[in-house]
């Protein structure tokens, strides 16, 4: 219960979720690599975007005149991959909640798909403008 001076019931603070600093780096790297492996194994769209984007990233230094242009070209491809990973995570979460059709879960999936589409449009525009 609250009074004018603050909460009456003082609860112990929750323990930290993880260690900070350098002790966190190795576990965080393992989780990230596990996520990339899962995306590669289970997400055809992610594999297709990597197959399309990797060659473009490799030629970017040879077709761009300046370093900032290379960064934009590569960054646009990375943004597609990042968006696809987030969308895949959202879809996995939705499927965990329910496999049955639900308007809000469908909307969440559609919004994630729209984000991927916009990131692809962005990549096409960046590449078209810089070439």
* pLDDT tens track, the chain, 131 positions: 445 555 555 677 766 666 677 888 999 999 999 999 999 999 999 999 999 999 999 999 999 999 999 999 999 999 999 999 999 999 999 999 988 888 999 999 999 999 999 999 999 999 999 98
Report the distance separating Cα 88 and Cα 38, nearest Å: 10
Q: What percent of the chain has pLDDT over 70?
A: 88
Burial of 38 (0-12, 13-18, 19+ CB in 10 A): middle
Total-model pTM? 0.81
CB 66: neighbour CB atoms within 10 A? Answer: 9
Report the distance separating Cα 83 and Cα 96, nearest Å: 20
Residue ranges and CATH numbers for the domains of the chain are 44-131 (1.10.287.3610)
Report the distance separating Cα 38 and Cα 33, nearest Å: 9
Instruction: Give catalytic residue positions.
Output: 84
| Residue 68 in tokens | 């900032």
The tens digit of pLDDT for each residue in 39-68 reads: 999 999 999 999 999 999 999 999 999 999
């Amino acid at each position: 219960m609250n009074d004018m001076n603050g909460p009456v019931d003082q609860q112990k603070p929750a323990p930290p979720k993880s260690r900070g600093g350098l002790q966190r780096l190795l576990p965080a790297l393992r989780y990230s690599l596990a996520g990339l492996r899962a995306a590669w194994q289970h997400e055809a769209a992610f594999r297709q975007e990597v197959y399309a984007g990797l060659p473009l990233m490799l030629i970017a230094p040879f077709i761009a005149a300046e370093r900032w242009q290379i960064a934009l070209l590569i960054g646009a491809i990375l943004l597609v991959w990042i968006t696809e990973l987030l969308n895949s995570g959202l879809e996995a979460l939705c499927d965990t909640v329910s496999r049955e059709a639900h308007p809000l879960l469908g909307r969440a999936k559609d919004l994630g798909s729209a984000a991927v589409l916009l990131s692809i449009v962005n990549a096409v525009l960046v590449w078209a403008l810089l070439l």
